A and B are shown apart, each in its own frame.
Chain A
Amino acid sequence: MSGKVLVQSRINGEDIAFLCDPRQSLLEVLRETLGLTGAKEGCNNGNCGACNVIMDGVLVNSCLVLAVEAEGCAITTIEGIAGPQGLHPLQQAFLEHAALQCGICTPGFIVSAKALLDRNPAPSEEEVRHWLAGNLCRCTGYDKIVRAVLAAADVMNEDAGMSVRAGQDQQVGW
């Protein structure tokens, strides 16, 4: 009764047009129409954060956005996080700190952490934990994830010649 709608968005820096039903979520279209399967469907109701993407600079659950709402928006998915030089420092830190086990939640965590570091390049441990409260992980117990995010922030700040965390307690965990 409602027909397909043509939507134009900028996804991971590329202008993309797609057709969708008004009832389809952005997550559904990313995965099933555009083949961007990094964002995961966990709960499909906004509790788990596995589908998180950055939409016009704002972190959102892509399961709670209609694909038609993406018209004219810039969207970054996990596929757009790595640069031409290779892995993003967050991705590298997740590997080095073994911040994942089964991996289902990882794309959501990395996208969330990217949104945090874009806004706050030197977060405290508490700020990291607070920011990531909407991402669920059933394997790691979160400590390694928090450690990886803080380590990535340090690497990025060193690369940028900053020492914003100097003087802060960098001990994390128990």
Chain B
Amino acid sequence: MQEFAYVRPRSVAEAITLLEQEEACVLSGGTDLLVQLREGRRRARVVVDIKFVPEVSTLRFDPERGLEIGAATPCWRIAGDPVVSRIYPGLVDAVGLVGGVQIQGRATVGGNLCNASPAGDTIPALIVHEAACVIAGPNGWRELPVEQFCTGPGRNALERGELLVSLRLPSPPAGFGAGYLRFIPRNEMDIAVVGAGAAVVLDESREHIERARVALGAVAPTPIAVAEAAAFLAGRAPTAENLSEAASIASRAARPISDMRGTAAQRTHLAGVLTRRTLERAVERATGRGV
């Protein structure tokens, strides 16, 4: 592997100063970065290990303020947290699909997001859970809705010197349910051909959807929120016909390419099937019938 210096900042301010340098790379779980450095796909003069910055390694839930996931929190801590699993089921579906156990021991949700793969499993889940990115940089702090964070394959909205500190997920209201599903040709350990996340909030009678979110992965240069499908579902009953219609809308919103993992036609089809199934899962969870 190429030569670089390794530094361990202890504060956000120190991390930002280090990241302003030429060819500075953030090291979180390292499961993408070390492979990219080894293969020469990225250059690093200095590797900034952010895991010792307290704000970046936090995992905190508060019923009022919601969930704060430090960008360097490994997947296993999220999947292994009973409160997070119960309240953010879509996220936990996705986190459990990131590599195998030993990858989840290191890989982080923040890293999955910053790597900005169109097929990153946690990103559609973060979108349907309405996550906001908390970013610190030389010019101060800012927040960005997660659906605006990825700007292209492997590219994100961070400017030089900026650090993704954490993700903030609002506390879901009563009647909330969410899920994430993906299609892969194997049982385990693969990259999504298509991924779909969905969330619904049912009204008090549980007979109508107040609002919904639908997001797709691996069907466009970035994971996408499908606002048209969400708009269609708002105010409608969670019937099989309505969920199928929302799925058709999602399928039409897909703009996939053909590659080694699947053709554009297959992905367009899968976007519909997975959206319908994920919506069904979200509705089941919202009514307390799902697991």
Contacts and interface: CB of A to CB of B under 8 A. Distances in A.
Contact of B102 (A2, A5, A21, A59): A59
Given A65-B30, A66-B27, A66-B30, A115 B3 contact: no
Given A64-B35, A130-B188, A133-B189, A59 B1 contact: no
A75 to B, nearest CB: 13
A115 B101 contact: yes
A123 interface: no
B103 interface: yes
A90 to B, nearest CB: 16
Interface residues of A, number: 33
Nearest to B76: A58
Contacts of A44: 38
A60 B105 contact: yes
A79 to B, nearest CB: 18
B38 A134 contact: no
The residue among B37, B47, B105, B188 with the most chain A CB atoms within 10 A of its own CB is B105
Contacts of A68: 6
A134 B103 contact: yes
A23 B102 contact: no
A77 interface: no
B141 interface: no
Interface in A102-156: 112, 115-116, 130-131, 133-135
Interface in B101-118: 101-103, 105-106
B100 interface: yes
A112 B101 CA distance: 9
A22 B105 contact: no
Contacts of A5: 6
B139 interface: no
A96 interface: no
A21 B99 CA distance: 28
A60 B188 contact: no
B5 A2 contact: yes
A76 interface: no
A44 B291 CA distance: 37
Nearest to B187: A133
B2 interface: yes
B34 interface: yes
A126 to B, nearest CB: 11
A80 interface: no
Nearest to B37: A23
B6 A59 contact: no
A134 B100 contact: yes
B4 A61 contact: no
A23 B6 CA distance: 8
Interface in A1-18: 1-2, 5
B4 A131 contact: no
Interface in A52-109: 52, 55, 58-61, 63-66, 68-69
Interface string B43-65: 00001010000000000000000
A173 to B, nearest CB: 17
B2 A23 contact: yes
A22 B34 contact: no
A114 to B, nearest CB: 12
Nearest to B44: A23
A69 B49 contact: yes
B5 A64 contact: no
Contact of A134 (B37, B39, B101, B187): B101
A45 interface: yes
A64 B1 CA distance: 12
A24 B1 CA distance: 7
B6 A22 contact: yes
Contacts of B3: 1-2, 21-23
Given A2-B4, A58-B76, A134-B101, 6 more contacts: A46-B35, A63-B34, A64-B29, A65-B106, A66-B27, A134-B102
25 contacts: A2-B4, A2-B5, A2-B6, A22-B3, A22-B4, A23-B2, A23-B4, A24-B1, A46-B103, A58-B76, A58-B105, A59-B101, A59-B102, A60-B106, A64-B30, A64-B35, A66-B30, A68-B6, A69-B30, A116-B101, A130-B188, A133-B101, A133-B188, A134-B101, A135-B100
Q: Which 3 A-B pairs have the closest CB atoms?
A: A134-B100, A22-B6, A133-B188
